[in-house]
Structure 1
Amino acid sequence: MTYKIAILGASGYTGAELVRLIATHPGIEIAALAANSKAGQAMGAVFPHLRHLDLPDLVTIGEIDFTGIDLCFCALPHKTSQEVIAGLPRDLRIVDLSADFRLRDPADYEKWYGNAHAAPGLQNEAVYGLTEFYRDEIAAARLVAGTGCNAATGQYMLRPLIAAGVIDLDEIILDLKCGVSGAGRSLKENLLHAELSEGYHAYAVGGTHRHLGEFDQEFSALAGRPVQVQFTPHLIPANRGILATGYVRGEAGAIHEALAAAYDGEPFIEVLPMGDAPSTRHVRGSNFCHVGVVPDRRAGRTIVIAALDNLTKGSSGQALQNANLMLSLPETTGLMLAPVFP
């Protein structure tokens, strides 16, 4: 059986990444592509690297007939996404790539995103889309909320350690570097080549980054008590990739064992041998996440490092992984492509 899907927001980076991944998926057909600002154009004109594909032209969301659409990917900005999804058919399965349904408490959403939630009833229905930890709930869900790419990276490093009780919950420092595609495709002065290249900088310093809402929600629920990490993201002059370095108090051996046990049999999470550090160049363009553990020179201190591609495992690849579960397809379908190197 072939399932028909629609992608809303297809002219952004995550929309294009979804098309790239789905193009060779044996069980999914792209039936509609929406991008209001570029409606009427061919997808190959907006993204020339996709011009070899036989794709429907871009249309407005209002032009899509959702009859016969089995699942919809919503790759729209936050706030816009909740408004659009609220107007979609109630029996339509949806994977949302925005931030709009990640936080379970509407008050938390308003705190981190600055506006009241427009569809709190749907927020209560949504399942958090970190696949490896919510697999059963995702398979049964109608609406899945994709995680933030930074939030996914930090959680792959830290969730097993919190669950196993092998680190001090009050001493977690997370230092993260992200490629510029994580900021989206819209024009921004600070993302111009002359502004960004030949250097990198910290942003949202001091605990203001919105993905902290996800860390607070998920880590505190896991620990059964409030957990707040110290987190600083950095923007680097690279197109893709996230590299996160965590500094924790705990024994390296126990930490490595906890990670290896948590991800034993997981197809997309690779725990490296003790002492090896991952690199973004080894996961580029793939749905894989590499996690490494290195003992610190100080006894009882350990460094945990994770790398993933923010557009794939951090967003569109994760979305397709979740869609596979929702459509009762093998979870890895369309996602086992090897990373691009060099």
Structure 2
Amino acid sequence: MAMKLCVIAGDGIGQEVVPQAVRVLRQLLPQLQTVAADAGWETFQRSGNALPPVTLAAARDCGAVIFGAVSSPAHKVAGYRSPIVQLRRELGCHANLRPTLSLPGCGTPGIDLLIVRENTEDLYIGEEQSDGDTATAIKRITRVASQRVAASACQLAVAEGRRRLTIVHKANILPLTDGLFRDVARQVAADYPQLQVDELLVDTAALKLAQAPQAFDMLLASNLYGDILSDLAAAFGGGLGVAASLNLGEQAAIAEPVHGSAPDIAGQDIANPVASLLSLALLLRHWWQLPALDARLEQAVRATLAAGIRTPDLGGSAGTAGFCDAVLARL
């Protein structure tokens, strides 16, 4: 079966880091077929659709996607919807994997944390209404989605040899929604006796994560809490420039560097491509089931950083393309 990758660079620095990261991936997968597609704010301004049907069709056909970054308006714009949120839901990518690793020369030593975030519901369903004086947003938690993400988290934990799973919630204040998520997650985890399962209120989890990120092994959270906590954890891994993620589903997977479009540095060849490279490494491991190639790519990135080759956000002087040249040399 042909290996295909839908390449959505998006806006801003996505148009720099994604092509460079794909160039590195081709060294590992010379048979890879790529399909370029458009999405994002610039696409919306051109076409009136931030995720055109042709892009969605290409993503479905390929199964594997890399999604760079998108700019977003600071206020409501008629017809605009977040293309990455829409793409995750359309492709059924129910679990967001956010690892935080200690990399050479950046971040806090001793961290190997994986946050698994439910990816399809919670407040992110976008059902809001307002009469001008009162605004209301719907928080939706379902048994089906909670079971699905909890099963994925437990399976990943066992596959990667992790021992402890911490369920994050706010069931003391939201006993029906967060209570359902917690209870279902515990029911699923009961089938994995090799895992030590505990739970934390989200505010306590944030405090403990800020105090001692090394103390955690794996967190399971609903959409909003997982989004916030994974960005907090990224601060200990070297920042958003190195923060990778994978949106994983049964029919598709989306590699997604976590950083934004960073328009202030776009076009200057100084954006950090590590998040894109490590997101593709996650795609190699969890979607294409090629753990040896994942290990090679991650090791090449680590060796490059260890050699002192870093982009300006990490205190170095390497450019986006130059950093990827160095990774290629180590491959």
Q: Same fold (TM over 0.5)?
A: no
Higher RCO (C-alpha 8 Å, min separation 6): 2
What TM-score comes out, normalization by structure 1 length? Answer: 0.36
What TM-score comes out, normalization by structure 2 length? Answer: 0.37
